[in-house]
Amino acid sequence: MTNHIELGGAFTLPGTSMTISRMGYGAMQLAGPQVWGPPRDVDGAIAVLRAVVDAGVNHIDTSDFYGPHITNRIIRRALHPYRDGLVVVTKVGARRGEDKSWLHALSRRELIDAVHDNLRNLGLDALDVVNLRVGGMMAPSDGSIEEPLTVLAELKSKGLIRHLGLSNVSPAQLAEGESITGIVCVQNMYNVAQRSDDHFIDGLASRGIAYVPFFPLGGFTPLQSDALDAAAASLQVAPMQVALAWLLQRSPNIVLIPGTSSMVHLRENLNSAALRLPAEIVARLDAIGGTSHPESRISHL
């Protein structure tokens, strides 16, 4: 399908020996519709996961609230015992309501239970990286993260977590987090149209901290989608491939986690790492989000 040298290069998480492929894989879409229940084709999901690691990807992003519990159990069934060097990143801080809603789960008991659920369902003695998920659905919200992050730092000191990251946070919350424990990555919404984290990314890059954008095609206006489609058509590739390639070229600390349950789309996603966008295409794409304020669009999602 591809190989590791075509996966956008590698990135070493700060203060660790973990070197990950910049093109990773997000497991959310392995669950059923609305990220709830099992997928229609469990064997197909297993095949996709095995194809991911066979292609050289050594960075899988997941959470036990996907399903809930479903994706982690599929990952374990497909890949356990895990290959040397495979980094499984999970997240805590949310849970699923019986109505399939997404709810905060940031109490001490909820966080401890979530870490143990991830350990059990993934079949691990320690979690490589755990991201603390806070904020709203798409963007950070104000407030201290000291209390929940301190809980995770305690679990790290006990050896249940190796490293910690943050998801849906502001630069001020990152600074607060770093006063509590080491932070190896930040996972926020960002793409060619949603650009509120431009300065944040540059600051993280200067310090060697990974930035992991989610929703590479989320929050686009129709005109922005048209511009991306036109760029993709000129290169004879899919819009998602252009969006992913733009992110890889945006900054060397950006690490991607596109997800799919389709083998065809997996090939497209992985091959986008080898796509080199010409300067004129990059300039055209930069202009999509360069003159607007992403926060105003996030509120309408």
Query: What tens digit of pLDDT does each residue of 222-251 get?
Result: 999 999 999 999 999 999 999 999 999 999
The first and second tokens of residue 259, run together, are 């997800």
Residue 290: the pLDDT is 66
Across all residues in the chain, what is the average pLDDT? 93
Q: Is 25 a catalytic residue?
A: no
* CATH 3.40.225.10 corresponds to the domain 15-298: no
- Mean of pLDDT values over 89-102: 97
What is the identity of the amino acid at 217? L
pLDDT average, residue stretch 109-127: 98
E strands, the chain, where?
10-12, 19-21, 25-26, 59-61, 87-92, 94-96, 102-104, 127-133, 161-167, 183-189, 210-214
Q: What is the b/e burial string over 16-40, where b = at least 16 CB atoms within 10 angstroms of the residue's CB?
A: eebebbbbbbbbbbbbeeebeebbe
| Res 189: pLDDT | 96
The per-residue pLDDT for 79 is: 98
Is the pTM above the cut of 0.85? Answer: yes
Reported as a single tens digit per residue, the pLDDT across 1-34 is 455 447 999 999 999 999 999 999 999 999 999 9
Candidate list 66, 82, 190, 211, residue with the active-site label: 66
* 158 three-state secondary structure: coil
Kindly give, in sequence order, each residue whose CB lies less than 8 Å from that of residue 215, ignoring residues fewer than 6 positions away. Answer: 138, 189, 191, 194
**82-86, 124-128, 134-138, 143-147: least confidently modelled range:** 134-138
- The pLDDT assigned to 230 comes to 96
Alpha-carbon span 204 to 209, nearest angstrom: 5
Gap between the Cα atoms of 156 and 144, Å rounded = 20
**In the prediction, which pLDDT does 136 show?**
86
